[in-house]
């Protein structure tokens, strides 16, 4: 910070500080245009690549490096970046449920890490549609679906009996709601 040398009045001091700022600007503007040409620029240029995720059906919510996103989605990463992708086991829209199948490149695990060395476009595929209460995805709500929910009844994530496909309400607890939903829809199929 500039200090008043003591012999200037406040109005002169403010004027002097303003003139100093103008002088600095003028000196900067007066630097010859070729002055910067002799400077050497060093550094590494990192190529950028685009990662794009589509889903079938659309609007599946998934995570990229532990952050939720909805397909379709894309972002740009530097060369060599590792990107962690996790797709859900099920995707529910209204009374319709879809079950994880595979990635467009044939990988069947829902979780994967891709290394960005080129542009990458992936589509996730889900089997279905199935009725929301058709827990095992065989096309009909039947006793097998009741058994799946009954075996997981009272469980929650990290519980030894936890089965995420039995959590119809998707509230993190297999409870009476899930069991009643299967019972009320017993015998139903989705129209072809």
Structure tokens at 171: 């509230």
pLDDT exceeds 60 at position 182? yes
Give the pLDDT of residue 130: 85
Q: What residues contact residue 42 under an 8 Å CB cut-off, 6+ apart?
A: none
**Cβ-proximal residues to 97 (8 Å cutoff; 6+ apart), any chain:** 90, 91, 128, 129, 130, 131, 132, 134, 137
Least confident of 126-135, 141-150, 151-160: 126-135
- CA-CA distances (angstroms) from residue 130 to 90, 140, 141? 11, 8, 9
Residue 179, pLDDT score:
95
Per-residue tokens: 170: 């998707």
For residue range 63-81, list pLDDT tens digits in order: 999 999 999 999 999 999 9
pLDDT bin (cut points 50, 70, 90) of residue 148 is very high
pTM: 0.62
**Region 2-31 average pLDDT:** 44
CATH 1.10.1330.10 positions along the chain are 140-192
- Enumerate the β-bridge partners of residue 53: 73, 122
Please determine, looking at this structure, whether the domain spanning 45-131 carries the CATH number 3.30.70: no
**Residue 85 contacts residue 51 (beta carbons within 8 Å):** no
- State which CATH number among 1.10.3720.10, 1.10.1330.10, 3.40.1020.10, 1.25.40.340 fits the domain covering 140-192: 1.10.1330.10
At residue 189, the pLDDT reads 85
Q: Identify the pLDDT of residue 51.
A: 98
Query: What number of residues does the chain have?
Result: 192
Report d(CA 47, CA 150) in Å as an integer.
53
Residue range 159-176: mean pLDDT, rounded = 93
The ranges of the chain annotated as CATH 2.60.40 are 45-131
Q: In this structure, what DSSP letter does residue 4 have?
A: -
Confidence at 45, pLDDT banded by 50, 70, 90: confident
pLDDT at 6 over 90: no
């Amino acid at each position: 910070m500039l200090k008043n040398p003591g012999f200037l009045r406040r109005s002169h001091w403010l004027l002097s500080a303003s003139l100093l700022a103008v002088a600095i600007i003028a000196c900067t503007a007066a630097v010859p245009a070729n002055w910067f040409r002799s400077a050497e620029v060093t550094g590494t240029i990192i190529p950028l690549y685009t990662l794009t995720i589509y889903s079938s059906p659309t609007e599946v919510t998934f995570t990229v490096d532990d952050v939720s996103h909805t397909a379709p989605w894309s972002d740009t990463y530097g060369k060599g970046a590792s990107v962690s992708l996790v797709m859900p086991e099920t995707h529910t829209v209204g009374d319709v449920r879809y079950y994880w199948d595979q990635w467009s490149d044939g990988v069947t695990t829902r979780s994967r890490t891709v290394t960005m060395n080129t542009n990458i476009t992936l589509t996730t595929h889900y089997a279905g549609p199935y009725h929301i209460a058709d827990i095992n995805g065989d096309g009909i709500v039947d006793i097998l679906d009741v058994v799946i929910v009954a075996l997981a009844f009272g469980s929650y994530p990290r519980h030894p009996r936890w089965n995420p496909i039995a959590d119809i309400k998707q509230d993190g607890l297999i409870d009476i709601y899930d069991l009643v939903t299967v019972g009320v829809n017993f015998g139903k199929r989705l129209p072809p």
